[in-house]
Structure 1
Amino acid sequence: MSSASQSRPWDVRLLPPAEGKVFLVTGGNAGIGYFVAEQLAATGAVVVLGSRDAAKADAAAASIRSHVSGARVRQLPLDLADLSSLKSAVDALGVDRLDAVVHNAGVALDDPPRRETRDGHELMFGTNHLGHFALTRWLAPLLSAAPAGRVVTVGSFAARSERLDLDDLQSARDYRPKRTYGRSKLAQMSFAFELDRRLRATGSTVLSVVAHPGGALDSLTPSRPPVHVTTGGERLRALPAGLLVQGKDAGAWPVVRAVLDPDAAGGQMWGPRVFGLRGAPRREPAMAHMTDPAVAARLWAASCDLVGADPGPGFR
C-alpha cells in the first residue's frame, strides 16, 4: 500500500468521494446489497439498484434517499435467472461507462425440491453464478470504458467447506440445498479470481475483486422500513451473537471497500477483520480451492458453454 494509505487508515464512516462515478449493485434492494448501495450513495456516486422486483427497488431507493441527503439512486430491472434478458437490461442502463458492478444478488434455498431457472439451470447455480457470469460479459465494454473499472463479487463463508463437482455443476445427481448454495457461491468466487487472471493477461485496466460479509444477521441490522425492520426484542435477543457476528450494514463494509479503496488490487479478497466474521474490512488470503486455476479453467469453459459466451481469454 502507498504511504498515504498507511498513514490514513480506512474509515468505514468516512468514505472517499466518488462523484461522477456510476456503480451497479445487483440485488441492491435488500440485505447486504441494500447497505452496499446506501453506503456507496453517500459518496456522491450514481448508484443503480439491479432488481427483478420493481416495487422493492422503488422502496429501497426511497429509503436510501431518506438516509442519504442528495443521493443519486435509480433502479434497473434485472433478472439474473433469465439469461436472455441480460443484454437488454445492460442496454437499458443508458450510460457510456460503468465504474464498478457489485455481483451481490443471490438465491438461497433451505429445502428441496430442486428448482430450475427458465433456461433450465439449477436455480442457485443458474442465478448466483451463471447469471453474474453472463452479466459480466455484457457489461465488459462499459467497465473497460471506465478509467479503472471493477467487478466486485460477493462471496460467502458457505464456500469454505465446499468443493466444486465439475461433473455435476448443477446438482442434477446430488441435490442438497445448503451444499448446492455453497457450491454456487464457490463457483462465483472461482470465476472472480479466474476473471482477474484473464484480465491481467490481456492488459485490461478492469480489476476483479472478491469480498465477503462474514457473519451478518438480520436481527443485528438497523431498521430500514419498509426494506427491513428489526424489532427491539429481536435486537435484544441477538446481543450475545453480536460478540461474534454483526448486522448486514457492517457486512457491507468489505464490499464497499473493495469498490472504493484505490489501493485494492485485482485478485484480492476482503472480509471482516475479526476472524473473518465481524469488524472493519481488511484484506485476507483466499483458500487454495477458491483460487485453483485448473478448476477455474474448467468452470470457465463449462460456464461459457451454458450461457453461450465466447470461451476466449476474457470477455470482449
Structure 2
Amino acid sequence: MSSASSTPPWDVHRLPRAEGSVFLITGGNAGIGYFVAEQLSTTGATVVLGSRDPAKAEAALASIRSRVPDAHVRAVRLDLADLRSLGTAAESLAVERLDAVVHNAGVALDDPPRRETGDGHELMFGTNHLGHFALTARLMPLLSAAPAARIVTVGSFAAKSERLDLDDLQSRRDYRAKRTYGRSKLAQMYFGLELDRRLRALGSATASVVVHPGGALDSLTPSRPPVHVRTTTARLRAAPAALLVQGKHAGAWPAVRAVLDPAVRGGQLWGPRLFGLRGTPRREAVWSHLTDAAAAARLWDASRDLTGVDPGDLRG
C-alpha cells in the first residue's frame, strides 16, 4: 500500500477501481449494508451480498444492477444467528481469496422481551458480535490468501456511551433492549481492534479496521425501490434533522473508505467528519473505553469459548 501522502484526496463520489477484488458484505440486502454494496459495485470488484433472506437479496441485486449496469454482484445465504451454518456459508463463496469482508449485518430489538438464537445466545449479542466473530474464523483462510485483505467491522455511535458487563455478556441479569443493542455493537468494536492486535502479532498482512456510520436515518436515505422507499412526507419531516445526521447512503461512506483507501491502516477507527454524526469519512481517535486491551482480551476469550472457534487462528 502507498503512503497517505502519495494518495489523492478521498472523494466519496469517485472511488478507485478494484477490478479482480472480491468483497463480502454481511447484511448487504438492506440499510447501510445495501449502500456499501452498491457503492463498492461501481469499482469493478465482485461484490457478494450475505443475506438470510434470498428474496430480499434478489431485490437488492436487481436494484444495484439497475443503477450499475456492469456490476459484478451476487448473493450467498448467511445467517449469523446460526453459528453451525457459517462454515457452509464461507464455502459457498466459491472463491480462492477474499479481499475484504464488511461486518455490517445486525439486529436491533425495539420491544422489551429478551430473545435467543437457536444456539442459546441473546439475539443481539449472538448475531451482531458472536456471529461475526465466528464468521471471521471461517473466512480467515480466504482472507489470508489475499495480498492485503481488510476486515471492516461496522460499529455504532450508540456504543460510545455504553460499557460492557463482562460478567453478563448475554444480558441475563439485566436486559434492556437499547442498552443490549449498544453493548452488542461495542463488543463488535472491541473485537475489531483486538483482532488487529492479534493479526499484527502474527505478522499477518490482513488488517482489521473499525468504522461507524454516525447518525443514519431511513428518512434521509434516497429511495432504492423495492429495497427502500422514502415518501415525500418522510423526507419533509426529516429535513431539519439533516443538519445533524444523514441518510444510510452516507452512513456507508466510512466502511467503503476502509475497504478501498490504501491510506487506511489496521487498528484505526473511522466515522463521519462532523461531530461523528454526519459528513464525509475521516479517521478519529479510538474512543477511550475501546483502548482497554484487557477487557478486549477477556471478551475474546469468552467469545472463543461461546463459539468454539478462534479468528486468531489463521488456518480458520
In the superposition, the TM-score normalised over structure 1's length comes to 0.98
Q: What SS does the aligned partner of 1:62 have?
A: helix
The one-letter code matched in structure 2 to 1:4 is S
Deviations for 1:67-122, whole angstroms, at most 9, x for unmatched residues?
Answer: 11200100000000000000001011100000000000000001221000000000
Task: Tell me how far 1:237 sits from its aligned partner.
Answer: 1.1
Task: Tell me how far 1:279 sits from its aligned partner.
Answer: 0.6
Partner of 1:65: 65
1:153-192, aligned counterparts within 5 Å? Answer: 153-192=153-192
The one-letter code matched in structure 2 to 1:272 is P
Kept in 1: contact 2:99–2:146 (CA 8 A): yes
Partner of 1:259: 259
Q: What SS does the aligned partner of 2:289 have?
A: helix
Partner of 1:55: 55
Matched residues, percent identical? Answer: 75
Q: What SS does the aligned partner of 1:239 have?
A: helix
User: How many residue pairs are counted as aligned between the two chains?
Assistant: 314
Kept in 1: contact 2:134–2:311 (CA 8 A): no
Q: Closer, same or farther in 2 for the Cα pair 1:219/1:315, shift >3 Å?
A: farther
Q: Hey, what's the Cα distance between the residues in 2 that align with 1:312 and 1:194?
A: 10
The one-letter code matched in structure 1 to 2:23 is F
Task: Tell me how far 1:315 sits from its aligned partner.
Answer: 6.4
The one-letter code matched in structure 2 to 1:3 is S
Q: Hey, what's the Cα distance between the residues in 1 that align with 2:76 and 2:261?
A: 25
Partner of 2:15: 15
Q: Hey, what's the Cα distance between the residues in 2 that align with 1:313 and 1:45?
A: 27
Kept in 1: contact 2:137–2:312 (CA 8 A): no
Q: Closer, same or farther in 2 for the Cα pair 1:315/1:191, shift >3 Å?
A: farther
Q: Hey, what's the Cα distance between the residues in 2 that align with 1:311 and 1:275?
A: 33
Unaligned runs of 5+ in 2: none
Q: Closer, same or farther in 2 for the Cα pair 1:204/1:123, shift >3 Å?
A: same
Partner of 1:92: 92
Task: Tell me how far 1:291 sits from its aligned partner.
Answer: 2.6
Q: What SS does the aligned partner of 1:95 have?
A: coil
Partner of 1:292: 292
The one-letter code matched in structure 2 to 1:141 is P
Q: Hey, what's the Cα distance between the residues in 2 that align with 1:54 and 1:75?
A: 8
Partner of 2:140: 140
Q: Hey, what's the Cα distance between the residues in 2 that align with 1:271 and 1:119?
A: 33
- Please identify, of 228-237 and 52-61, the stretch whose mean Cα deviation from structure 2 is larger: 228-237
1:212-251, aligned counterparts within 5 Å? Answer: 212-251=212-251
Q: What SS does the aligned partner of 1:210 have?
A: strand
Partner of 2:43: 43
Unaligned runs of 5+ in 1: none
Q: Closer, same or farther in 2 for the Cα pair 1:79/1:159, shift >3 Å?
A: same
Task: Tell me how far 1:292 sits from its aligned partner.
Answer: 1.1
Kept in 2: contact 1:301–1:311 (CA 8 A): no
Kept in 1: contact 2:26–2:49 (CA 8 A): yes
Q: What SS does the aligned partner of 1:279 have?
A: strand
Partner of 2:5: 3
Q: Hey, what's the Cα distance between the residues in 2 that align with 1:46 and 1:101?
A: 12
